[in-house]
Each structure stands twice: as C-alpha cells, then as structure tokens.
Structure 1
Amino acid sequence: MSAVKNVIKDNYNMMLLKDYLRTAIKDAGFSHVEISKTPTGTRVVLHVTRPGIVIGRKGSGIRDLTEKLEKDFGLKSPQIAVNEIAQPELTSSVMCNRLASLIERGTAFRRATMWTLQQIMNAGAMGVQITVSGKLRGDRSSFEKHSLGILPRAGHQATIVVDEDITHVPTAMGYIGIRIRIAKKERHIPEFELKGMSAAEIETRRIAKEKADAEEKARTESEQIKLDAEKIEQLDLMEEVEEKIK
C-alpha cells in the first residue's frame, strides 16, 4: 500500500474513532483525542470535562474502552490516559456538543445560541462567534451568525488565538450545522487585546461564575444540559419582549 493510501486510511480510522468517542463518552464531556505510537503500544489521551465517568468504578470504564479500541479500531496495546479540561466553556468542541444537545432536546436554536455565547464570554473569552446553519425556521436553508467580543478572522494570529470546532445535530427538518470559534485571552497578542474592561470587572465576573458553578454542579454532561435548558427557558429575548409590548 502506498504512503498516500496509508495516510488516507489512518485519517479515516481517526474520524471513525472520534465519532465513536463523541457518542460513547458523551456524558464525560468528550473534547478530543490524541494518539501516538510508543515502543510498548499506542498511547491514547482523552480530553474530557469529567474524567471519573470515563475511568468508571475501579477502572471498569477504562478496561472496557481499552478492549473496544483494540478490537474494533485495531490499536495495538492501547494505553489510555484521561486529561481533565479545566475550563469547558473555553473549549469549542465541548460547547459545540452542548449547543447541539440543547437543540436536540427541543430548545429554540436562537435561545440556545444566545445562552452559549454568554456562557463562553462569562468564562473569560476574548471573543466568540457562533454560526448555525440549515433549515432553521422553514423549508428553505438559511444561517445565522452571532458574535461577541474580539475575534481575529484571518492570518497567522487567528491560528494562534482561535479555537474552532464544527458539529451537526439531526432535527425533524434535517441536519443543522453548528460552528463555534473562540478567541482565548491567554493566547492573545498585543494588537488584539480587549480594552474597556477593568481588572475589577474581570474579577467580579470570575467570582460570579465560580459562585454559580458551586451552587449547581452537574455530575454528567446530560445533567449540565438539563440545567442549562431550564435556565434558558427563563430568558427573555428582545424579539419576544417586543411582541409582548405590541
């Protein structure tokens, strides 16, 4: 087999593996996986928001997952390590999955999008852009793009600062595509520095977020989605307020 075919085969297998992990450990808040070959086998690093769910009771989850990766995906002697994501709201893949789950539960896509935007910015992002496309309101396909903060869109800076991911969610009208781009402050370069927010305001926002997290700590991603959906229902969008005034 030629080198080109080997590359294609490896990329295809990686795609299948990511699709499997996104479903199999969904409640653990799966973000991405890193695979590297070692002299003793294959090292697999899973990046998740809740490592305990992947590990399982007395390591049962790791053992089952190891057998699955070796048998169905052909990984030689997989050695699985689990890495916890410190700030899920600043990880585009995690937020894509949460937004997709909210829409799949029946939450209005615009409400879910506005909620996700606010959650990302409250976590300390420099900027965020969410694009939702598909049959959103009728038979014709359309898209909506919502942004907050500062987000480099092109050039070398964008590759350094921006974390991006894309996912799709099935609905009764067809698939809806979700794309989230997050600019992180810790990676910013001086010309993209977010101005106008004092250190006191940033600290106040951080304390408020920590207090909210302490009050309602979800054990799984499914519980987190349920809590978010309940909070979203209490929001009033501007267009709904206008309708009430009329």
Structure 2
Amino acid sequence: MSSLARKYVNQGLQYMMLNEYLQRQLARANYVHAQFFKTPIGTKVIVYAGIPGLVIGRRGANIKALSDVLEKEYGLENPQIDVVEVPNQDLNAKIMAYRVARALVRGVRFRRAAMIALNRIMAAGARGAEIIISGKLTSERHRTERFTRGYVPKSGEPGEELVDEAVVHVLLKLGMYGVKVRIMKPARMPDMILVRSQVPQGGEA
C-alpha cells in the first residue's frame, strides 16, 4: 500500500472513531452526523444535530470541552466546531429512532412508541416508513417487531437514494434493544409516469 493510500485509510478510520465518539457524547442532542474538512488553520468540524443548544452548552462550554477532546485524544489539529440544526426532523430517520428509543426508556409500550413515530413521519409528508424494534419485547425471548406505513422500497435506485435509514441501540432493564427506522422521502419516484390529457390545437389546457 502506498503512503498516500495509507494516509487516506488512516484518516477514514480516524473519522469513523470520531463519529462513534460524537454519537455517544451527543445522543441527548439528537446527533445525526458530522463532516470534517482540512483548512489552512486546522480542521473544520460541522456537527448536525436536532438540538444544537445541547451541543453548544451554556456560553459555549460544551463546544470548548468537545474541542479539547477532539484535539488531545483524537489528534485533530485546531478543531473549529460549527453546529447545524437538522431541518425537517420528523423526516430524519436518526432523530426518529432516537425518539422511539427514548420512549422505550420512559416505559412507553413498544407498539405505542412505534405508532406515534409512524404517525409523525407520515404527517410530515413521507411516502412511507418502517420501524423495526428488536429485543425482549414481551418475554425473556428476543424477538423483532416490524411496523410499516405507506411504501418503502427495499432495493434498487429508490431504496438507495430516496430512503433514509438509521439504527439506534438503547440499554433497558431486560437488555439491549435495537430501533431501526427507514423513511421514504416525499420525492417523485424515478418510474412515475405523468399522464396529461391531450389539448386540442388552439385550445387552452
């Protein structure tokens, strides 16, 4: 492996570890993802979250502490952190997975938690949604429950480009639970055909 290829591999591993750390630390802020850019004065970090205030902290205290950790423990050079609020949060799979997981922590029944989330997603304009909850749901045996609304493609171009997918894990008294959310965005399908009525020559539509 060339030195250049090794550099990119190491950088990719570093960013993966950073993303895992940020997800653990900023889960309460509905952390979605982060982007990292090299700049002439250091590293620009853009954090996307549902609740930016929890990332920033009072008078920027959380941002300062986070910058110190990223620099000292993860080797980022002079990290400059910006926080961006995620728009259309009811259509973001990661944020909706967080919400379902928190409902389970509060003791809400898994079916009710899933149905509330599905209603919010569909009300926001999604073409379809799927929520999968796994764990010891009703007994000591592990099992999986699936809840769906509308249309959610599983494969092909629509499944890759139009479906937002996320998984969140939460530890409860009976063990670890998994929440997977897939949301079909309110977009026009590639194979959708629009039929227009023929307009007579000289007439109006």
Q: TM-score range by the shorter chain?
A: 0.7 to 0.9
Q: Which residue of 1 aligns with 2:180?
A: 179
- Cα distance in structure 1, aligned partners of 2:154 and 2:35: 26
CA RMSD of aligned residues (A): 2.3
Tell me, in whole angstroms, the C-alpha distance in 2 between the residues paired with 1:114 and 1:100.
13
Question: In the alignment, residue 153 of structure 2 is paired with which amino acid?
Answer: P
Pairs within 5 Å for 1:56-67: 56-67=57-68
Residues 113/70 of structure 1: CA separation in 2 closer, same or farther (3 Å cut): same
1:151-174, Cα deviation, whole Å (9 max, x unpaired): 111101211110001111112222
State the shift of 1:181 in Å.
0.4
Contact in 2 for aligned 1:42/1:76 (Cα 8 Å): yes
Measured in 2, the distance between the counterparts of 1:36 and 1:192 equals: 38
Tell me which residue corresponds to 1:51: 52
Matched residue count? 192
- Structure 1 window deviating more from structure 2 (42-51 vs 9-18): it is 9-18
Give, in angstroms, the shift of residue 11 of structure 1: 4.7
Alignment correspondent of 1:119? 120
Is the helix fraction higher in 1 or 2? 1
In structure 2, do the counterparts of structure 1 residues 179 and 11 end up closer, same or farther at CA, with 3 Å as the change threshold? farther
Match of residue 189 from structure 1: 189
**1: CA distance, partners of 2:172 / 2:8:** 34
The alpha-carbon distance between structure 1 residues 6 and 110, as it changes in their structure 2 partners (threshold 3 A), is farther
Distance 2:102 2:11 in 1: 29
Question: How far has the Cα of 1:189 moved from its partner?
Answer: 2.2
Distance 2:134 2:29 in 1: 27
SS in 2 for 1:31: strand
Paired AA for residue 113 in structure 1: A
Following superposition, the deviation at residue 130 of structure 1 comes to: 0.6
Residue 46 of structure 1 aligns with an amino acid whose one-letter code is V
Q: Could you tell me whether the CA contact under 8 Å between 2:158 and 2:190 is conserved in 1? A: no
Per-residue displacement from partner, 1:179-231 (whole Å, max 9, x unpaired)? 1000111x4325469xxxxxxxxxxxxxxxxxxxxxxxxxxxxxxxxxxxxxx
How far 1:2 moved relative to its partner? 6.8
| Map 1:80-159 → 2, pairs under 5 A | 80-159=81-160
Alpha-carbon separation, structure 2, partners of 1:109 and 1:9: 40
Q: 1:192 to 1:97 in 2, by over 3 A?
A: farther
- Listed one character per residue, the Cα deviations across residues 47-72 of structure 1 (whole Å, up to 9, x for unaligned) are 01222332233333322211111112
Aligned to 2:78: 77
Q: Give the TM-score normalised by the residue count of structure 2.
A: 0.82
Q: Distance in 2 between matches of 1:170 and 1:154?
A: 31
SS of residue matched to 2:129: strand
Structure of greater Rg: 2
Aligned-residue offset at 1:91: 0.7
Query: Could you tell me how far 1:103 is from its partner in structure 2?
Result: 0.8
Q: Please give the alpha-carbon distance, in whole angstroms, between the structure 1 residues aligned to 2:101 and 2:7.
A: 33
Paired with 2:155 and 2:40, the residues of 1 have a C-alpha distance of: 40
State how far apart, in whole Å, the 2-side matches of 1:5 and 1:100 are: 38
1 or 2, which has the higher strand percentage? 2
- 1:8 CA drift (Å): 6.0
- In structure 2, relative to structure 1, the CA distance for the partners of 1:77 and 1:56 (3 Å cut) is same
Q: Quick one: percent identity of the two aligned structures?
A: 38
What's the offset of the Cα at 1:115?
A: 0.9
1:94 deviation in Å?
0.9
CA distance in 2, matches of 1:66, 1:130: 35
Q: Distance in 2 between matches of 1:192 and 1:100?
A: 35
Secondary structure in structure 1 of the residue aligned to 2:75: coil
Distance 1:137 1:8 in 2: 44
Offset, 1:38:
2.4
Query: Residue 189 of structure 2 aligns to which amino acid in structure 1?
Result: I
